[in-house]
Structure 1
């Protein structure tokens, strides 16, 4: 098993998703705590621009977005499986819905004034303002859900999740799948980070019992690592050889071209590099940083836009 380095911070819901996957698979990992807001110079030295949380590092290979990170962890440790054979497509589809529709509904509800105030009651108003401005910049152009509308939607989604739990302990059966981890983390944020508004769970006790089962999976075996230590690991390593997956050209951009990859919605910061792979599932860019050396930065296809650097 290669050394797994997770760049994250405790407050991040998506980081909690990956921490629990690491726990379910009983994996050991190194923890690098990153800032929750920009600037993030140590992280950007590895990614080239991408700043969302979390990021998985394996030597000089940098994996962005939890959808891709979960695929990488599944490849490294296939058991217990995130994608059950009887419901692979369903599990992935539910996970995508949860990471997008459910997530933004839960965030809009949880960060209503009472929840937002609790979130930063110890950090103070300056930290709250900085966080708010940072997320405003990350979500420029995205539609915003008002808390009152989010509350109605959230209640409906919780009832639907509850309906999935009447016959078995996890959403798709006897063991947790990617659907569980993706639906759990937005709810975790409400229940654990903004408990002042967590009474929304009172009508769905089965959801609370399921959340307790997911939380009990733990976070695996964690060891702290400094950001400079992680950069040194990348600088001393050589990116892993790429698999022989077929090149899927949907853009008319040849391998070896200078390209820019950006998120289609939240977090628009671009990453530029040389396109090394464009398979049906992911992109790989090669880039060089004066601190991190030559790294391969990997993105999932879904949710990300690829453009030639000259046209970006």
Structure 2
């Protein structure tokens, strides 16, 4: 199996989602600790301008967005399956909702004044100011990842209450009897809230949810070895991007070799430019050339990303 390199940082909830997934699958992996805010020169050398965390590197192939990273990890280590046949559709839909709507509610809840102190109190004033400016830029003019606080609290209570009831009824996992990707997408939201000491009391009303969280937490993070970003860049430079099957789907409006950009549709809307290698209903793959990383393929899920002709 090729080496798995996760570019992540310790307090990132989406990084925790993938760290736990590595543990559940018993995978060995390498961790590169990256800055939580810009500038991220070593990450950008691999991804172009994609700035979200985490990013998975396999040789000279760079996988963006945890929705896609989960699929890659599942293909490499199919047991336990993240998309069990009887729950595959519901698990995907639920995972997407937890990663978007529920996460937006969690961010809104946690970064009210009482929560911000818990989350950022260890930082110096200048660091807090830099973090706030970075996240404001990520949200953009539409203020993505924010909703009115009362609505965020209501959404969290409604979701956690329904899940708690489901767990108490004997359903072992989020989307049904079997573990699935939806469990990992819910997990990182609960993990995130538990980090804010005062505000974490919201979870006290949901003991079955907390018992489920404890069962998930027991997976741990697998076998991890920390490396420097310069090592990861050297790995990419020495490797060749993997051959891509399928190419560009007919009727997509694009052809292989087109100069294009890929941009998230919600937040952190920084376009990544490259040459189109593959495109279908589920993925987009660009070839990039970087002086430090060499030739790399950058992979995105199709859902949640806009593909446009460059220029």
Q: Same fold, TM exceeding 0.5?
A: yes
Q: Which residue of 2 aligns with 1:70?
A: 70
Q: Which range moves more in the overlay, 23-32 or 146-155?
A: 146-155
Instruction: Report runs of 4+ in structure 1 exceeding 3 Å deviation.
Output: 172-175
Q: Which residue of 2 aligns with 1:260?
A: 261
Deviations 1:188-236 (A, max 9, x none): 1011x21220111111111111111111111110001100000000000
The answer on whether the counterparts of 1:248 and 1:278 sit within 8 Å (CA) in structure 2 is: no
Q: Distance in 2 between matches of 1:93 and 1:280?
A: 16
Which residue, out of 205, 222, 225, partners 1:223?
225
Q: Which residue of 2 aligns with 1:3?
A: 3
Q: Which residue of 1 aligns with 2:290?
A: 289
Count of paired positions: 308
Q: Which range moves more in the overlay, 92-101 or 168-177?
A: 168-177
CA shift, 1:172, in A, is 3.3
Q: Distance in 1 between matches of 2:246 and 2:292?
A: 29
The answer on whether the counterparts of 1:6 and 1:56 sit within 8 Å (CA) in structure 2 is: yes
Q: Distance in 1 between matches of 2:272 and 2:220?
A: 33
The answer on whether the counterparts of 2:84 and 2:178 sit within 8 Å (CA) in structure 1 is: no
Q: Which residue of 2 aligns with 1:187?
A: 190
Written as runs of structure 1 = structure 2, the 5 A alignment for 1:88-167 is: 88-140=88-140, 141-143=142-144, 144-166=146-168, 167=170
Q: Distance in 2 between matches of 1:91 and 1:109?
A: 25
The answer on whether the counterparts of 1:249 and 1:278 sit within 8 Å (CA) in structure 2 is: no
Q: What SS class does the counterpart of residue 195 from structure 1 fall into?
A: coil
Q: What SS class does the counterpart of residue 165 from structure 1 fall into?
A: helix
Deviations 1:270-304 (A, max 9, x none): 10000000022100000100000000000000000
Aligned-pair Cα RMSD in Å: 1.3
Q: Distance in 2 between matches of 1:44 and 1:298?
A: 14
CA shift, 1:174, in A, is 4.5
Q: What SS class does the counterpart of residue 170 from structure 1 fall into?
A: coil
Could you say if the C-alpha distance between residues 268 and 119 of structure 1 is closer, same or farther in structure 2, counting changes exceeding 3 Å? same
Q: Which range moves more in the overlay, 193-202 or 53-62?
A: 193-202
Q: Confirm or deny that 1:178 pairs with 2:178.
A: no
Could you say if the C-alpha distance between residues 9 and 149 of structure 1 is closer, same or farther in structure 2, counting changes exceeding 3 Å? same
CA shift, 1:18, in A, is 0.5
The answer on whether the counterparts of 1:142 and 1:265 sit within 8 Å (CA) in structure 2 is: no
Alignment gaps of 5+ in structure 1: none
Q: Distance in 2 between matches of 1:256 and 1:159?
A: 50
Q: Distance in 2 between matches of 1:123 and 1:249?
A: 51
Alignment gaps of 5+ in structure 2: none
Q: Which range moves more in the overlay, 293-302 or 194-203?
A: 194-203
Q: Distance in 2 between matches of 1:92 and 1:284?
A: 21
Q: Which residue of 1 aligns with 2:53?
A: 53
Which residue, out of 203, 206, 209, partners 2:205?
203
Written as runs of structure 1 = structure 2, the 5 A alignment for 1:229-240 is: 229-240=231-242
